[in-house]
Every structure is written in structure tokens, then in C-alpha cells.
Structure 1
Amino acid sequence: MRRRGCLSESANLSCMPAARRKPVARNHAEGPWLMLIYRVPSESSRARVAVWRELKRLGGLYVQQAVCVLPDRADLRASIDKVRKRIDELGGSSIFLTLHDVEPETRDQFVEGFRGQSEKEYAEIIEECETKFVKEIEFERFRNNYTFEEAEEIRQDLEKLRRWLDKVEARDWMKAQGRDLAHQKVAECEQLLEQFEADVYERVVNEAD
């Protein structure tokens, strides 16, 4: 029989192991927290991946297998409810808790975990700017491919980078390092593209003459 429960009472996580860590600065990190504990059919890897993907898209922090934590926000509560319905559809079960009384070391683990996730995503955006985007323009210049179609394709890549950065920033609740540098690198990509577009325009105009 499938079971789908929801506990509104406070939950104390003092029993959770916590490594010794440096105190972290509190920045919207005092709680409460939302915790989702779920189970999906073990024989269905598709179901496990589907739930994992949705929770990671929300910015969820996995504290152990099938146990995910998020800050207590109205929009995230609504999103978790949708995930729970999806778990039901996949033949699983879930328990949803609101955590108010969390010991300091555990809270620090949450904060550091969320910051680490965001820092990693910012680093991926920075790497994408410094390698793929820059090299793409360099390659098109190398092969003398100054066309409107190519410039438009690169413009679409830039828009993808911007949307990616917007999503990462929206779930960066703990003010992770890397945000400013990521914005800087995306701005540099914009400048490179504008220079390339200007060169494309000059080539097209000269050819027309």
C-alpha cells in the first residue's frame, strides 16, 4: 500500500551526524527548512532519476539518499507538492517535514552544502564562458566565417548562458562565491559577440558594395 504523509510539527535533527566545521556566516540561513523523505520503486531507475532531476532543478540539497532539504519558501513548498504528486504517480511514497529546531552544526552543514552547490554551478558557467564560448568565436574568425547566421547562432548560445545564470542565481539562497565573476564573464562574452557582430556587418556591407 502506498503511503503519503505530511508532518507539520517541528523536527529535531540532533541525531544526524555532523562533522566539525568552521562556523559559517548566517545569511537567510536560520531556517526553518523543508525536508522531503521519499521512496520510489527500486526496480525503476527512470523513476529515481525523474524525482532526483526535479529536486535538483529546485536546488535541493541531498543529505542522504532520498532525503532532500530546501529552505522554507512558499514557492518551494508549492514545487515540492508537485514533486510529491509525481512520486505518487510513479508508485512511490513520501513524507514532508518542516524543520524548526535544528542544531547549529547541522544547520551549518545545510548552509555549506547549498553554498557548495551554487559555487559549483557558477564555476561551470565561468568555465563555459572561458572555454566553449570564447573558443567558438575564435574558431569562426579562424575559418573566416563572418555570416549573419553564425552570429545569430552564437547569440542564442549567449542567451542560454544568461538563462542558466538566472536560474543559478535564483536558487543561490546562501550568497555563494562566484556570482560576481560569473556575471563578469557573461558580460565579457557579450562584448566579444558584439565585436564579432560588428565585423560580420562590415563584411556584409563591403560585399554588397
Structure 2
Amino acid sequence: LINEFVAEIERDYNHPSIIAWVPLNEGWGVSGAEKDPKRGYYTSSLYFLIKSIDPTRLIIDDDGWWHTEHNDICTRHFYSTTDLLPATLDEEISSHKTSVPKPYLKPSEYKGGPIIYSEIGGFGYDFEDKIDRKWGYGRLIEDSEDFFDKVLALLKEFDKRKEWIQGFCYTELYDQFQEINGLLTFEREPKFPPHKLKEKLDTMFF
């Protein structure tokens, strides 16, 4: 991992679209870190290694999972059905307010700073009904209007909590083979009229 990631940084250092380096995602490669301090130290070491190569960019040590104190943005991944969404999201935000360990490895804790939900959504909808092995979070959606309503309901809940949430990234922009949770198909065809979502977003998050 270290050799490959250093090579990637050196290769892509001057690419203008990169705003943060993310060496780990969801604890992959450091599973069990909440019980093994050595894995947390390893995560921290990646932060300092990357910072020594590129001090100009933000670093997210382990996206959406167990952070250490050596991390620039607190990130969470959030997938929930609409009926459970408000309570689940409030519980998540409450954990940040009270600085409970999760999503931080002990003895690290949240000490303020931006909270980004770097993965949200995941509603599965096979717009063209041609994927054999389909996958999405929760029950697969069967029509465009229902899909739009669920996406909008999710974004409205985040808008209500914008005081605590500084940003989010929807999963995903477009389908990836069997993962049919994109806003667009694999061929980049919208699953609902894009202007409908834009009209709603223009009144949110500001």
C-alpha cells in the first residue's frame, strides 16, 4: 500500500482536481483497528507520510470509518431507508456533538472541524431494466418517480441539519455495472429529469 500510494502521489501531484488524499476507505486493510492500537498507529503513519510528500492538500486518513486524531476532515458514510433516516441521522450527529469515540479510535476524539458525509444515497433503480445481477442498498426501486422522491427526501434531511454537516457526496453519480444506485445509468442517461433536482437544490443548503 505504501509503495503504491507514494507512486500515485508522485504521479498525480499536479492534477488540479485532487483536493484530498485518502489512503484508506472503510477500514479496508486495517480491520479490527478499534481493538488493536497498532493498526491505528499505522493509519496515523500514513497521514504523516503523505503530509511529508504533499503538505498542500487535505488528508482523510480512513474515509467514513475509524479516524485518528491525525486527520483533516471527519467523514462518515450513511445509508438508510427513508423511514429510518431522520432518527438515524440525528443519532450520528449527536455522536459528534458529544465526542464519543466512534468514528474515532480511542483515545482520539472529535475536536471540531468540518463533518463531511462522503457517501450517502445508494438507492438502487434499474432504469432500463436490463441488468441481470442488480445491487443497491435496501429495497430496489421500480419507477423513476419513486426514485426521485427518495433522493429528494434524503437531501431534505441533510438540508435540515446543515448547521452540523459541511458537505456530502452522493453515491453514485452513475451506475457501475451491477451497482444500480447511480443518478444516471452506466451510459450516462438520467434516471429522472435533471432540472427537477436542480430546482429543488437551488433552494437548499444555503
- Give the TM-score of the pair, scaled to structure 1: 0.27
User: In terms of Rg, which structure is larger?
Assistant: 1
Q: Which has the higher contact order (CA 8 A, sep 6+)?
A: 1
Larger helix fraction of residues: 1
